[in-house]
Amino acid sequence: MADSPAPSSFVALMRRYCLDYTNRHDVTQVPGIMEPDYTLRMGQHVLSGRDDMYVPAASAQFRQFPGLCLTVHQIVSNGERLAMRFSEHGRSVKHASRAAAWSGIGLYHWNGTKLTANAVEQDYYSRKLQLDGAPADPIEPPATAPWDVVDVAANPRAEAAVRSLLESGTATDALNTDDAWFRTSAQPRFTDATYRVDDIFSAGDDVAFRVVVDGTYAGGLPDAQAHVGKRTQHYYVGVATVADGTVTAGRIITDRLGLVRRLAG
């Protein structure tokens, strides 16, 4: 019987990231996981610097959600790049201990030893609705064996299929956006829009990506109707699965809350 492929070393590092650091709220683990110049990109924001920028931001999150948990739903890795789809959930001490659960996707870089960068989006729009009084969202089932994921070689054809779809701005029911996996999800609409693929990589038939949208806001979000007609940018990350050149499944997480704030600014 042939030996099974060895689990990914990148995944092993992410196991430490999720279990030893995030779920234990133990920022003393961070120097062993991230390089000093670690850079986090979320929406229009860039936090560069592990100790001066990242750790204080993470510590503030842990203070707001003292019981914060991270649940992993999907990991894909080609050995050089890794994407992780996850949920975070807990109760906020700033909001009368209201509970919330929200989804996220991160696209990670490493240097073979430690993390160097992450482009991530988290569905803070849904989180805000819950913290403002809506019932807590359900949490998707965890991945069955996330820490046994093996590296899979990149697939340029799958990447090309996803890039073509994204750059066209074509919607597809195969991709669930934000909280659309369990309810009707309010999404922004744009006219005169361009869609720039800012990052893309694959692991077999799974393709991870980050997209920057530049367009005129045309509505869709109830709390931004006053800003219809304003030119702005929107950001999202996702993971899609391709079969026979067609996107058949996947998830996208967008910067809706950031968009509302940009439009109001």
Strands 115-122 and 34-42: parallel
Q: Both tokens of residue 261?
A: 């704030």
The crossing angle, in degrees rounded to 10, of helices 124-131 and 256-264 is 80
The partner residues of 46 in beta bridges, in order of sequence, read 41
pLDDT of residue 49: 98
Domain ranges of the chain: 9-148, 156-264
Distance (Å, rounded) from C-alpha 79 to C-alpha 157? 18
HSE at residue 216, side-chain half, CA atoms within 13 A, is 5
| Nearest alpha carbon to residue 178 among 228, 129, 109, 248 | 129
CATH topology of domain 9-148: Nuclear Transport Factor 2; Chain: A, (3.10.450)
The partner residues of 118 in beta bridges, in order of sequence, read 40, 108
pLDDT of residue 27: 98
pLDDT of residue 54: 98
Q: How many CB atoms lie within 10 A of CB 97?
A: 11
Distance (Å, rounded) from C-alpha 54 to C-alpha 70? 17
Judge contact between 138 and 101, C-beta under 8 A: yes
Distance (Å, rounded) from C-alpha 230 to C-alpha 232? 6
- 156-264 has CATH 3.10.450.50 classification: yes
Q: Which helix H or strand E contains 125, and what residues bound it?
A: helix 124-131
Distance (Å, rounded) from C-alpha 227 to C-alpha 265? 10
Distance (Å, rounded) from C-alpha 140 to C-alpha 72? 9
pLDDT of residue 204: 98
Instruction: Identify the burial level of 156 via C-beta atoms within 10 angstroms of its C-beta, where 0-12 means exposed, 13-18 middle and 19 or more buried.
Output: exposed
pLDDT of residue 7: 78
pLDDT in 10s for each residue of the chain, 265 residues: 456 787 799 999 999 999 999 999 999 999 999 999 999 999 999 999 999 999 999 999 999 999 999 999 999 999 999 999 999 999 999 999 999 999 999 999 999 999 999 999 999 999 999 999 999 999 999 999 999 999 999 999 999 999 999 999 988 999 999 999 999 999 999 999 999 999 999 999 999 999 999 999 999 999 999 999 999 999 999 999 999 999 999 999 999 999 999 999 8
Tens-place pLDDT, residues 19-49? 999 999 999 999 999 999 999 999 999 999 9
Distance (Å, rounded) from C-alpha 121 to C-alpha 66? 21
pTM over the 0.85 mark: yes
Distance (Å, rounded) from C-alpha 90 to C-alpha 27? 18
pLDDT of residue 2: 55
| Nearest alpha carbon to residue 84 among 119, 38, 125, 134 | 119
pLDDT of residue 36: 98
The two domains 9-148 and 156-264 share their CATH topology (first three levels equal)? yes
> Nearest 10 degrees: CA dihedral of 195, 198, 203, 207?
-20
